A and B are shown apart, each in its own frame.
Chain A
Amino acid sequence: MAIEDDVLVIGGGIAGATAALSAADEGADVRLVTHKESTLRNASGLIDVLGYLPSDDADGASEGPLVDPFAAIPDLPETHPYRTVGVEAVREALSFFDGILGDAYHGAHTDDNALVPTQGGSVKPTARYPRSSAAGLASDPRDALLVGFETLPTFEGPLAAAHLEAAGVPFQARGVTLSFPGIVRDDAKVTRYAHLLDQDEAVSRDGTGAREALAAAVQPHLEGEERVGFPAVLGDEHPDEVRAALEAHLGVDVFEVPMGPPSLPGLRLEDRLYAALEAAGVEVRSGVPVVDYESDGDDGRIDRVVVDRNGAEIPHRADQYVLATGGLVGKGVESNRERVIEPIFDCHVPHATDRYDWFSEDAFGEHPFARFGVVPDGELRPRDGSGNVEFENLRAAGAVLGGYDYAAEKSGAGVSIATGYVAGRHAAARSTDARARVATNDEVTPQ
């Protein structure tokens, strides 16, 4: 016996979760299997749509930061996933995703990008940002104090402040470096900072809680600034409470600066997505890989995939499948010395024969590998080398798709959301059709 569902989504990042939610929203029975924890830990937690247009001129300079990402989509190359699904689908998908985010994110009131300062003091154009970063926008004229911690070298307050000022922000930024109350070790994990504040653990002999102690450490450094920025470690379970407590103690607005990996805003986004999956009745199984598939002969459909559970091979059957295994980082696209592969279904991934042509000599140049991925048809079904659909009931979403460089364009979350949404909608529609067909065939005597 196999485990059976209408739609099986492989991959548990933004694309997989969006595909599962979008299919479940259409009434399909959905299961999501994911091998490992998602790469959302490596993500800023910001929801980008499009920050820069890829360059088409020889000097490699991209155009941006873009004010209106939607207006720029028609200028993207035809092979870009946004062009495949179309700008209307991107809007619709984002609005669907806004429903999942609820009030935890801001930015839905406008088409324009927001400008959010990041850990290095650069400013990132993004479509949606967590509520915890709302007071930190670079377009806000209020002066800001940036607080870094001695034991957290990934955020240098003074350096970030100097960078922001050099970027020409309309306010004065100043940075300080303090020691974090309750943490002495240089290699304490970001989750430790968050946990201290979440639980408001006592950090001194007199029983002072971590929140109050942190505010007290910052207080003497305020010189009239109306907002204070911290690296994004202000709680994991209860970030709103932590921020509110700091604001009450300090009497000014508090915001988080998005950080590199491992990133708490990314983890919080993951928690939110997984809570939504549970609420939508999607069955989620993590920690086990899909290792193989069986197709039913000549009609080009996947009949079942095989999930490996510590050596036991469990068949999973579905009417429709969504491949959302990620790109080079998420290991949905892999390479060896000879070729670049999509490891589960061996879908076609175009690339140069000589692996020394997979990258550019310039570290920040136009790297071909950044665009490696499967090539979809209009319904997001991966196509083989001759342009034919690989499997009639397999669609791809997110970074496993080729033809875009999310790091350069700042389009990672947006492409995952748009393609996940579209793949999920198509999968649900097809599986509903299939169910209807079965139902009519089963009717022996019409009522």
Chain B
Amino acid sequence: MSDADRSIDDRGTDAGDKTELERAGDVETAGPGNDFDPVQVFPESEEMDLRPGADDCYKCSTCDTSCPVAEVDDEFPGPKFQGPEQWRLKRQEDHDIDETVMKCSNCMRCDGACPSDVPLSQMHNTARGEYVQKEMSKLSVEYWRNRTLANYRRLAPLAATFPRTSNFVMGLGPVRWLGEKLFGVTSEREFPEFATETFRAWWAKRGGTETSRRRAKAARAERGEEGSEKRIAYFHGCYANYNTPEVAKALVRVYEHFGYEVMVPEQRCSGTPMFANGMLEDARRAAETNVDELATAIEEGADVVASCSSCSMSLRQEYPELFDLEGVDDVAANTWDAVEYLQVHEDLTGELEETSVEGVAGMEDFAYHAPCHARNQGLAGQTREVLEPIDGVEVHDVGDSCSGISGTYGWKEEHYDTSMKIGEEMFEHMEAADAEAGLTECPTCSMQMGHGTGYEITHTLEVLEAALVGDGSDGGGARPDR
């Protein structure tokens, strides 16, 4: 606080005298003058001590009202139980983690709800990790199904090597049927298509950081910003690399337009699907690589930006909550949502004031859904505000409902119905909005939006690219039909 050392008001008390309780019952209390010594109740533990968080919960149930799963499934006891209550229970020797923790979709809305800052999602993540470690059979189909879904990044390179074959095979009815019967992956959903060229392949072909440096420098000269250094490290995550490279390319072009040199460090999955599946060891390994690489980029003067709201959430919040790694706080404090970064560091509104996307393919009025993980970063509403000045595009916010897919959650055969029930409200609002296409920043939200309405879904960065850069002026090609 800036000037917090003011004297305390002492009107109307007999300061230094006995307290009312002492006067009443001749007891010693810890009023002024009596030192209070807190007592250590539990032995020091090596594990994360979440007791202060559990103690801060006063059972107001606000989190329960914000939980999308509890709203559609009474078998799920809700975040208040999964967090503080479960944490207390499992301190008893004979008490195992309740299996319902696997019904939590890790949307993290309870974090944004709790008035007492109870670290609910952190509690859920640790409980889920413990459940998978201690309770779930390592030989079960469920375990390997979850592990495969959580580690999609591991399989993606194989699929990306033969994208057309993969897309064809994964789209076959019998394959999807088998996937459900043998593996518990719902046959209701269509697998996302793999791009014929990954973003990283495109990036290397384009000349990597060298090319970006040259282009950024030229842009700065044009903007009258010579002599300045502007640099970002792009955490593209898996989806923009393997499935929607057009989003990643849009980020590169938009940032270069503002004069930023883009670096694309070595990286692994952000860990989001691993947290949600209780695979904390897998997540930690991925985090070690990411923190290491990104911390190095930060030392080189870059800020980290992510185009996927769950990736930025993971780097900013889950990493420091779950992993005690060198540089983790530094990475968290210097990571941004890609649009947020531009809004804070550039005159984004001013630049967009005179732009238009009238007649650009794929640009129309959008029904916008703010992903839960964007909402938790204080970003709900940002997209509508940022795109407002652009001519030829209207953004209709479809409200604060959860899309229901929550990454790998809605892909599991046993959660599919729950996922669609949660999404119902969003589908209704999308249908009611004055638009025939969707807009969001989260890959799996976009799958759910498309799945529930049949709309084409666009990423905000693609709209910014269309407004500021036009279609790819560097051989990147226009948007492929999806």
Chain A interfacial positions (CB closer than 8 Å to B): 1, 3, 33, 36-37, 39, 41-42, 183-185, 187-192, 194-195, 199, 237, 261-262, 267, 278, 283-288, 292-295, 307, 309-312, 314, 329-331, 337-339, 346, 348-357, 361, 384-385
7 contacts across the A-B interface (CB closer than 8 A): A3-B343, A187-B74, A188-B70, A262-B61, A262-B64, A356-B19, A361-B24
Asked if B376 lies at the interface with its beta carbon under 8 angstroms from chain A, I say: yes
- Taking a contact as CB atoms under 8 Å apart, the answer to whether A189 and B24 are in contact is no
CB-CB contacts below 8 Å: B307-355 with A = 313, 316-317, 320, 329, 332-336, 340, 343-347
A336 to B305, CA, bound (A): 38
Chain B interfacial positions (CB closer than 8 Å to A): 1-4, 6-15, 17, 19-22, 24, 29-32, 36, 60-62, 64-67, 70-75, 77-78, 81, 111-116, 313, 316-317, 320, 329, 332-336, 340, 343-347, 375-382, 385, 397, 421, 424-425
Nearest-neighbour CB distance to chain A for B473, whole angstroms, equals 27
Query: Could you say which of B24, B66, B378 contacts A288, with CB atoms under 8 Å apart?
Result: B378
Residues of A within 8 A of B333 (CB): 311-312
Nearest-neighbour CB distance to chain A for B259, whole angstroms, equals 15
Nearest-neighbour CB distance to chain B for A363, whole angstroms, equals 15
- Taking a contact as CB atoms under 8 Å apart, the answer to whether A261 and B376 are in contact is no
- Decide yes or no: A356 and B380 within 8 Å by CB, A187-B77, A286-B375 being known contacts: no
Residues of B within 8 A of A294 (CB): 2
- Taking a contact as CB atoms under 8 Å apart, the answer to whether B9 and A385 are in contact is yes
Residues of A within 8 A of B113 (CB): 36-37
Which residue, of A311, A349, A350, A384, has the highest number of chain B Cβ atoms within 10 A? A311
Supplied contacts A187-B74, A192-B72, A310-B378, 20 more A-B pairs, CB within 8 Å: A36-B112, A36-B114, A183-B74, A189-B65, A191-B67, A191-B71, A192-B73, A195-B71, A262-B62, A284-B381, A286-B375, A310-B317, A311-B316, A312-B316, A312-B336, A329-B115, A350-B11, A354-B13, A357-B13, A357-B20
- Taking a contact as CB atoms under 8 Å apart, the answer to whether B336 and A286 are in contact is no
- Taking a contact as CB atoms under 8 Å apart, the answer to whether B20 and A292 are in contact is no
Nearest-neighbour CB distance to chain B for A140, whole angstroms, equals 30
Query: Could you say which of B71, B72, B112 contacts A286, with CB atoms under 8 Å apart?
Result: B112
Which residue, of A41, A267, A350, A353, has the highest number of chain B Cβ atoms within 10 A? A353
- Taking a contact as CB atoms under 8 Å apart, the answer to whether A189 and B70 are in contact is yes
- Taking a contact as CB atoms under 8 Å apart, the answer to whether B340 and A41 are in contact is no
Residues of A within 8 A of B385 (CB): 283
- Taking a contact as CB atoms under 8 Å apart, the answer to whether A311 and B332 are in contact is yes
- Decide yes or no: A346 and B31 within 8 Å by CB, A1-B344, A187-B78 being known contacts: no
- Decide yes or no: A337 and B30 within 8 Å by CB, A37-B113, A353-B13 being known contacts: yes
A330 to B112, CA, bound (A): 14
- Decide yes or no: A36 and B115 within 8 Å by CB, A192-B72, A353-B32 being known contacts: yes
A101 to B440, CA, bound (A): 31
Nearest-neighbour CB distance to chain A for B379, whole angstroms, equals 8
- Taking a contact as CB atoms under 8 Å apart, the answer to whether A355 and B2 are in contact is no
A352 to B32, CA, bound (A): 11
- Decide yes or no: A354 and B115 within 8 Å by CB, A189-B67, A310-B332, A311-B333 being known contacts: no
Interface residues of A: mostly helix, strand, loop or mixed? loop
Residues of B within 8 A of A309 (CB): 340, 377-379
Residues of A within 8 A of B13 (CB): 352-354, 357
- Decide yes or no: A285 and B380 within 8 Å by CB, A195-B72, A293-B2, A348-B9 being known contacts: yes
Nearest-neighbour CB distance to chain B for A287, whole angstroms, equals 4
- The list of the 6 closest CB pairs from A to B, nearest first, reads A288-B378, A356-B19, A188-B74, A310-B316, A311-B333, A352-B13
Nearest-neighbour CB distance to chain B for A304, whole angstroms, equals 12
- Taking a contact as CB atoms under 8 Å apart, the answer to whether A287 and B15 are in contact is no
- Taking a contact as CB atoms under 8 Å apart, the answer to whether B378 and A189 are in contact is no
- Taking a contact as CB atoms under 8 Å apart, the answer to whether B75 and A185 are in contact is yes
Nearest-neighbour CB distance to chain A for B79, whole angstroms, equals 10
- Taking a contact as CB atoms under 8 Å apart, the answer to whether A295 and B2 are in contact is yes
Nearest-neighbour CB distance to chain B for A399, whole angstroms, equals 13
Across the interface, name the chain A residue whose C-beta is closest to B13: A352
- Taking a contact as CB atoms under 8 Å apart, the answer to whether A354 and B31 are in contact is yes
- Taking a contact as CB atoms under 8 Å apart, the answer to whether A192 and B65 are in contact is no
- Taking a contact as CB atoms under 8 Å apart, the answer to whether B10 and A286 are in contact is no
- Taking a contact as CB atoms under 8 Å apart, the answer to whether B316 and A354 are in contact is no
Across the interface, name the chain B residue whose C-beta is closest to A344: B1
- Taking a contact as CB atoms under 8 Å apart, the answer to whether A190 and B8 are in contact is no
- Taking a contact as CB atoms under 8 Å apart, the answer to whether B7 and A385 are in contact is yes
Query: Could you say which of A42, A185, A194, A292 contacts B60, with CB atoms under 8 Å apart?
Result: A42
Residues of B within 8 A of A194 (CB): 71
Across the interface, name the chain A residue whose C-beta is closest to B12: A352
- Decide yes or no: A353 and B15 within 8 Å by CB, A262-B60, A287-B112, A311-B332 being known contacts: yes
Residues of A within 8 A of B66 (CB): 37
Which residue, of A195, A261, A346, has the highest number of chain B Cβ atoms within 10 A? A195
A353 to B116, CA, bound (A): 25
Residues of A within 8 A of B332 (CB): 310-311
Nearest-neighbour CB distance to chain B for A394, whole angstroms, equals 13
Query: Could you say which of A42, A195, A288, A350 contacts B9, with CB atoms under 8 Å apart?
Result: A350
Nearest-neighbour CB distance to chain B for A340, whole angstroms, equals 9
Residues of A within 8 A of B17 (CB): 354
Query: Could you say which of B3, B6, B345 contacts A385, with CB atoms under 8 Å apart?
Result: B6
Query: Could you say which of B19, B114, B334, B346 contacts A1, with CB atoms under 8 Å apart?
Result: B346
- Taking a contact as CB atoms under 8 Å apart, the answer to whether A356 and B65 are in contact is no
- Taking a contact as CB atoms under 8 Å apart, the answer to whether A356 and B115 are in contact is no
Residues of B within 8 A of A314 (CB): 344
A361 to B24, CA, bound (A): 10
- Decide yes or no: A331 and B65 within 8 Å by CB, A192-B70, A199-B424, A348-B6 being known contacts: no
Nearest-neighbour CB distance to chain B for A29, whole angstroms, equals 11
- Taking a contact as CB atoms under 8 Å apart, the answer to whether B345 and A1 are in contact is yes
Across the interface, name the chain B residue whose C-beta is closest to A185: B74
- Decide yes or no: A191 and B70 within 8 Å by CB, A37-B113, A293-B2 being known contacts: yes
Residues of B within 8 A of A351 (CB): 8-9
Nearest-neighbour CB distance to chain A for B26, whole angstroms, equals 14
- Decide yes or no: A191 and B2 within 8 Å by CB, A37-B115, A356-B19 being known contacts: no
Residues of B within 8 A of A310 (CB): 313, 316-317, 332, 377-378
- Taking a contact as CB atoms under 8 Å apart, the answer to whether A286 and B115 are in contact is no
Which residue, of B71, B116, B421, has the highest number of chain A Cβ atoms within 10 A? B71
- Taking a contact as CB atoms under 8 Å apart, the answer to whether A339 and B8 are in contact is yes
Query: Could you say which of A36, A267, A353 contacts B8, with CB atoms under 8 Å apart?
Result: A353
Query: Could you say which of B1, B32, B343 contacts A346, with CB atoms under 8 Å apart?
Result: B1
Residues of A within 8 A of B376 (CB): 287
A193 to B29, CA, bound (A): 46
Which residue, of A195, A261, A287, has the highest number of chain B Cβ atoms within 10 A? A287
Residues of A within 8 A of B336 (CB): 312
Which residue, of B115, B329, B334, B421, has the highest number of chain A Cβ atoms within 10 A? B115
Nearest-neighbour CB distance to chain B for A166, whole angstroms, equals 29
Nearest-neighbour CB distance to chain B for A259, whole angstroms, equals 12
Residues of B within 8 A of A384 (CB): 6
- Decide yes or no: A189 and B2 within 8 Å by CB, A337-B36, A339-B8, A353-B8 being known contacts: no
A213 to B31, CA, bound (A): 58
- Decide yes or no: A285 and B32 within 8 Å by CB, A189-B67, A329-B115, A357-B20 being known contacts: no
Residues of B within 8 A of A311 (CB): 316, 320, 329, 332-333, 335
A349 to B9, CA, bound (A): 8
Across the interface, name the chain B residue whose C-beta is closest to A293: B2
A42 to B62, CA, bound (A): 8
Across the interface, name the chain A residue whose C-beta is closest to B115: A36
Residues of B within 8 A of A353 (CB): 8-10, 13, 15, 32
A131 to B81, CA, bound (A): 34
- Taking a contact as CB atoms under 8 Å apart, the answer to whether A292 and B2 are in contact is yes
Query: Could you say which of A187, A191, A357 contacts B19, with CB atoms under 8 Å apart?
Result: A357
Nearest-neighbour CB distance to chain A for B325, whole angstroms, equals 15
